[in-house]
Chain A
């Protein structure tokens, strides 16, 4: 501090302690003091950056009021939109089929009414060497709706079932019908795909079917109870 004081003195006096101070140096000192004073009163002016920008942004209290009002309005709007979005999922029962976890659920809005194990398509392929016809055993993905429901369904075996068995495809339709393999109930959702029961309960939870959804007896009964023609089914 002492050294600094001495240095300032030296500068004011022109380096020689015996010499009188120059007028221009004194004036310069006064000027510098004045500039420093002004700058410290309004430091933002010397630092054009974030501080001055913020100061400018907050200079007007009405800006704050406007921003607060805008934020409140947007919050209300977002809440409204979120509520509207949650209402989009219908309030009537819907069926969700998870082909990764092999689980089937009946839901109503946010509520889960019933859930159980199922089996979905294997994704395997079969080619008929005689005709060259090819089948891919995928459960379709996306949105479907229930077309109808039947109890004690009879399976009308499609061509691939005979090719897979290695037996000729019958010409007589009656030879295709097999009872009891589809369980107690079946709910059709188009293109020959059904949610039905199974004899192979040990395979529930695996991707092993030819495209239909095989469900456990307990959950199948509940699905049968809730499903109506038009009941939405999402398979994913």
Chain B
């Protein structure tokens, strides 16, 4: 007997339904198996990956520390005091033969016309205040009768000055009074950058002259720093992690 169309269709419908169920079932089983496989299989590699990433970062950081210590050891063999600008720790240390004499908190810093230094050393040849130094003037003949000025020494010092270094490089020390907000400081930095660009365009300043780094300290700290520093001394820069390897663009503020 020839099967009727309806029977055939029913049979096909049945077969088709079974096939579709099989497809869906296989799909679900595969999915479940693969999820199970991927869970069990990725646990260890993920741990290893994390450990490897941690170790790589630690090796990099230790390498930086090693280079910084080697540089400092070379500088500290001399008796001259030296300055360590520690960008990662945000502090400026005055040291002699590896011993810290004084620590200044570094509020912020800015690289102007220079790439951020890695572990590097500059030699200061002159400290130059931005405005003429206003020293107390003693009157000749006043002698023993003159009232003794017992103003704290650093109080009379400038809070903004440049440390001129060999190779035309300049380390600028600037005061950021506690009263000035981030906006004011940002505006000042932007103005300084604009002035620098204008100077460069007018040919009065060249980016090849060696570079400038600006350090912002509190008003008190910058005066104390000026008061404490000898005229000539080496400055060591301690690179921020990843700074030397991947320098941001010049003029970038951190």
Contacts and interface: CB of A to CB of B under 8 A. Distances in A.
Interface stretch (B49-57, B165-173, B205-213): B49-57
Interface string B76-88: 1101110000000
Interface string A20-44: 1100001001101110111111110
A58 B52 contact: yes
A179 interface: no
B59 A74 contact: yes
Interface in A63-118: 63-64, 67-68, 70-71, 74-75, 77-78, 81-82, 84-86, 88-90, 96, 98-100
Contact of B150 (A58, A136, A203): A203
Majority secondary structure, B binding face: helix
A48 B98 CA distance: 47
Given A33-B26, A123-B156, A99 B13 contact: no
B224 interface: yes
B81 A143 contact: yes
A77 B231 CA distance: 34
B233 to A, nearest CB: 7
Contacts of A21: 16, 19-20
A55 B49 contact: yes
The range of chain B's interface size is 35 or more
B177 interface: no
Contacts of B31: 33, 36-37, 40
Contacts of B156: 123
B76 A85 contact: yes
A82 B69 contact: yes
A54 B62 contact: no
Contact of B27 (A29, A127, A128): A29
A96 B101 contact: yes
Contacts of B16: 13, 20-21
Contacts of A9: 20
Contact of B52 (A63, A89, A90, A164): A63
Give the 9 A-B CB pairs with smallest separation, nearest first.
A166-B141, A54-B49, A207-B153, A40-B34, A142-B230, A58-B48, A74-B62, A58-B49, A81-B69
Interface of B: 9, 12-13, 16, 19-20, 23-24, 26-27, 30-31, 33-35, 37-38, 41-42, 45-46, 48-53, 55-56, 58-59, 62-63, 65-66, 69-70, 72-73, 76-77, 79-81, 94, 96-99, 101-102, 135-138, 140-144, 146, 148-154, 156-157, 224, 227-233
